[in-house]
Structure formats: C-alpha cells, structure tokens
Chains A and B, each alone.
Chain A
C-alpha cells in the first residue's frame, strides 16, 4: 500500500487492568501442571479485568491519555475505529461510547472493527488512508480486548485484557509510518460462532500455516518494499499470542531478541489479542529515541498480518514530558488474584457478552 510521506503517530497510550493470575493457579483448578504449561508458553502471568472493566473502559482510558500526549481535544478527531474481538455489545458500536466519553462526537465518523487479534492494526491502516487522502486531519485507532478461553482450554493460560490508542495524523508526528503492507488469506485456525461464548481453534493448525506463514510473508514483503534489512531496525514488534511464537518468528526472519525485548509484554500480561501489537509498539515507543526505526507485524486469525515501517522523529522527546504513564508504569501496578476471584470476575465478563 502506498503511503504519503507525512502520515504517522501524533500520540499514543496504553492501559492494562491491574489484576494478574499465574498459570499455576489456573492449572491447579484443572488438575494440570500449570507451571510447566506457563513455562512452555513463556507466560509467567496474565492480566485479568475487574468486573467493571471492558473494551469500552480500556479504550476510553487509553484514548484520553493518547489525546493528552498528542495535545489535541476530542473535537479535533474526525474518525474513531475500535478493533476488538470482545466488543461489549454484539450490536451497538464500542466506538460511539468511546467517542462520547472523550467528547469527540458528533462531527466525526466511527466504527468497530473485528479481525481476531489484528483488528487494531486494521484501524491504523484505515486512519492512515483517511489522513493520507486528505479526508481527515486526525483519526484515532484503538486495539483492545478482554478475551476469554473456555475453562480448562489451553487458551485460558494466556487470554488477557488490555489495549492501546493511537492518534494518527499528518502534522507534529512523533513517529512517521513510512510503509504498510498486508498479507491476508482464508485460514480456519481460530473462530467463534455468533452467540457462542468461547472460541474454537484448529489445534496444531494454529502455528505453521497460520501465525508463522502470515507473519513471515508479510514482514518479508515489507522488507522487500522498503529495501531494509532486519538489522537496520532498532526495534521489532510481533503479535504475541504467547512468549514463544514472536521470538521464533523474529529469529526466522533475522531479527534479534534484543530488538524484540522492549515490546515483548506477553510474559507478564498475557495475550491481549487486539491490544497485543498496539501495546507492544507503545512500550517500544516509550524507550525510543529520535531517528530510531521500528518494524511492526500484527497477526489475526482467519487470517492476516499487517506490517508497518516506522521511524521515530525528534518530537518523541516532547511527548515523553507530558504527564501520561508509560506502559511500564501502567503494568507495574499489579495485584495477583487466586483462581476463585478470577472465576468470579470472568463469569461476570461472560454475562456481559
């Protein structure tokens, strides 16, 4: 996809609920060795939303902070897209509630996106297109989820909650998005039928033909298009369904573990689905310096990947001085809960669907 020279990120922020649960707590409940399970998935804990948190509340908090960093008001936003697979309503947009809560309504366009874990980056691309074409000045792209695995399912060890919001525009950019490419196929690796509580997945079918195929092909296309080599990037962010997949994909493509490190949040907060890449990128931007280059590739089951070639500008220094918490600060406020509390919270979330 062609992008103009002057489109990118003006502000960003992420939010992750405070509660955490460890794999051993989940394993104990099902007579499984949770510790070993967690070690295999490279996940030490995952975030758990409070019963009064959902995709609307997570998105709203991230959006408020992102606007503060961008130095804009709600009325400056002409588009809001929220990507999630756990929108609180089946019919009634999350985006309208978020827009009202940040005073962006009514002179704006809004919609919810769904594409498993890559709905957030799909929102990025839409905002980029609207900004590049001159249709809007500023748009907001959000990726957030409060995802669920069926009780006893392997997904329960990783399915977590969190999200991040980005103000996309063409002026005062803290990072330019210089190129984006996508790789999309019809792949039945993971799905949830309308009205069903929990997703189904294709077991072993989720790895090679799904995550790795899409992530590597999409990233390779981006590298080909930009003429960049993996080692020209300071950082890389890949979708993180667990702690193993992104490391393996990075290695295969020629990226190092050091490049991944700042954005690899899955170990402590789990898989935040649509929030995964947006939060990983936010944590990376928190550490970035002017001139740094960041490679980003998302993945959503069903299936597709979006890759982005990002270059940080000198504005990143000013943005960091605004009174908005970094991802490290947000996630360091944690409280571990036992399975009983987790189950109570989780049931409530199911009720909300």
Chain B
C-alpha cells in the first residue's frame, strides 16, 4: 500500500469519517466530493460526518485461502456490514466463532492492525468489527 494514500485516508480508516450531503442529508462512506443525487446542488456542501461505529451483518464469508498478508489470521471472516447510518462497509469480523455469526448480528467497529509492509515497513491500522455483546460479558 502506498504510504501517501494510506495517510490521506487515515480519518476514514481510524475513525469511520464519511461525508453527509448538505442538500439531501444522505451519508456516504467512503467520502465523496459530490452527491450522486444532488450533483451540482451538493457542490461544497459535502461535510465530514463521523459514523457512530455500530451496525449489523448483512452477509459474510469465511476466507480460507487468504491474501498473504492475512495468513496468520486464517481462516478469517469478511462481512458486509450495514452501519446505523445506512451505509454499507466491508470488513473483517474478529474475536468470534464462525458458527456464532449470522445475518443481523450487531457489531461494533474497533481498531486493529490491517497489515504491514514487512518487519521494517509501516504498520497499517483500521477498523474491523466485533460482536457488540462480546465485550459486555454476554
């Protein structure tokens, strides 16, 4: 991953910061410059908007033949999560048995290591999801 690109995306990767269209109120993640509905009306009205970090699993899959970077985590689970604000994100589901995951599972974003450029290179951090109940003794 290019360091400059990662650095530009830190806000969205660490904090889940997207944008809200100042014209129609629609929320977008990742952020975009123009609202596809409002087009010119949304120009310079796309304001930063922080997702509250919780949502529910829409679909999920177990990855057994991973990207080399994720070998130590294998097998791991990737899911499409619909956030409370309505936007859909793709991310890892962590700290849960595959059998305990189902559509509708409530999850929460937490910062994890996404990868690194080898032992000498940069470490990349970003959000992954865990079941919202998993840290509440349930």
Q: Chain A: residues with CB nearer than 8 A to chain B? A: 18, 50-54, 56-57, 60-61, 88-89, 97, 100-103, 325-326, 328-330, 332-333, 344-345, 348, 351-353
Q: Are A101 and B15 in contact (CB-based, < 8 A)?
A: yes
Given contacts A61-B110, A352-B119, contact A333 B15 (CB under 8 A): no
Q: Does any Cβ of A come within 8 Å of B95's Cβ? A: yes
Bits for B1-20, please: 1 = Cβ < 8 Å to A, else 0: 00000000011001100000
A-B contact pairs, 21 of them (CB 8 A): A18-B95, A50-B94, A50-B112, A51-B72, A52-B94, A53-B113, A56-B113, A56-B123, A57-B110, A61-B111, A88-B123, A100-B10, A100-B14, A100-B15, A101-B15, A103-B15, A329-B135, A330-B135, A333-B95, A351-B116, A352-B113
Pick the most buried of A97, A325, A333, A348: most chain B CB atoms within 10 A of its CB: A333
Beta-carbon nearest neighbor of A53 in chain B = B112
Q: In whole angstroms, what is the CA distance A89 to B116 when docked?
A: 12
Beta-carbon nearest neighbor of B73 in chain A = A51
Q: Are B111 and A352 in contact (CB-based, < 8 A)?
A: no
Q: In whole angstroms, what is the CA distance A101 to B124 when docked?
A: 12
Q: In whole angstroms, what is the CA distance A136 to B59 when docked?
A: 46
Report chain B residues within 8 Å CB of A351. Answer: 116, 119
Given contacts A18-B95, A345-B72, contact A57 B137 (CB under 8 A): no
List B20-57 residues whose CB lies under 8 Å from chain A.
50
A348 partner, pick from B14, B72, B111, B135, beta carbons under 8 A: B72
Q: Are B135 and A333 in contact (CB-based, < 8 A)?
A: yes
Q: In whole angstroms, what is the CA distance A18 to B134 when docked?
A: 9
List 15 extra interface pairs beyond A52-B113, A97-B125, A325-B135, CB under 8 A. Answer: A57-B111, A60-B110, A88-B123, A89-B123, A100-B15, A101-B111, A101-B125, A103-B15, A344-B72, A351-B116, A351-B119, A352-B113, A352-B116, A352-B119, A352-B123
Bits for B126-138, please: 1 = Cβ < 8 Å to A, else 0: 0010000011110
Q: Are A52 and B114 in contact (CB-based, < 8 A)?
A: yes
Min C-beta distance of B124 to chain A, whole Å: 10
Q: In whole angstroms, what is the CA distance A328 to B10 when docked?
A: 32
Q: In whole angstroms, what is the CA distance A60 to B14 when docked?
A: 10
Q: Are A57 and B72 in contact (CB-based, < 8 A)?
A: no
Min C-beta distance of A179 to chain B, whole Å: 34
Beta-carbon nearest neighbor of B50 in chain A = A103
Q: In whole angstroms, what is the CA distance A52 to B77 when docked?
A: 14
Q: In whole angstroms, what is the CA distance A345 to B27 when docked?
A: 38
Report chain A residues within 8 Å CB of B113. Answer: 51-54, 56-57, 352
Beta-carbon nearest neighbor of A353 in chain B = B119
Report chain B residues within 8 Å CB of A60. Answer: 110-111
Q: In whole angstroms, what is the CA distance A262 to B93 when docked?
A: 32
Q: Are B125 and A57 in contact (CB-based, < 8 A)?
A: yes
Pick the most buried of A61, A101, A352: most chain B CB atoms within 10 A of its CB: A101
B137 partner, pick from A52, A89, A325, beta carbons under 8 A: A325
Report chain B residues within 8 Å CB of A50. Answer: 73, 94-95, 112
Min C-beta distance of A146 to chain B, whole Å: 11
Report chain B residues within 8 Å CB of A329. Answer: 135-137
Q: In whole angstroms, what is the CA distance A97 to B114 when docked?
A: 14
Q: In whole angstroms, what is the CA distance A18 to B50 when docked?
A: 28
Q: In whole angstroms, what is the CA distance A61 to B135 when docked?
A: 11
Beta-carbon nearest neighbor of A347 in chain B = B72
Closest 3 CB pairs of A and B: A329-B137, A51-B72, A101-B14
Given contacts A100-B10, A351-B119, contact A52 B135 (CB under 8 A): no
Report chain A residues within 8 Å CB of B136. Answer: 325, 329
